[in-house]
Amino acid sequence: MKGSIYIDRERCKGCMLCIEFCPKKGIVLSEELNLKGYFVAAFDMGKECTGCATCAVICPEVAIEVEKN
């Protein structure tokens, strides 16, 4: 794994842009709701992260941080 993803559940509105733009398809829509009632994005631990940070750049809510390993 070249990167680690942190998604702020309370900022996420489940727009799925990060899911669409992830080159490794490592982000999924979880079945858990945040306090505002949105299904939130979550990193699939079975997938690999390239550390490209495309998800963080595309997120309109600034809910994603990517740390390169």
Domains and CATH numbers, the chain: 3-68 (3.30.70.20)
Q: Specify the pTM.
A: 0.90
Query: Given this model, what pLDDT does residue 69 score?
Result: 87
Three-state DSSP at 3 gives: strand
SS (H, E, C) 5-34: EEECCCCCCCCCHHHHHCCCCCEEEEEEEC
Contact 34, 41 (CB under 8 A): no
Query: Given this model, what pLDDT does residue 10 score?
Result: 98
Query: Given this model, what pLDDT does residue 6 score?
Result: 96
The yes-or-no verdict on residue 1 having pLDDT over 80 is: no
CA 15-10-17 angle, to 5 degrees, is 20
Predicted confidence (pLDDT) per residue in 5-61, tens digit: 999 999 999 999 999 999 999 999 999 999 999 999 999 999 999 999 999 999 999
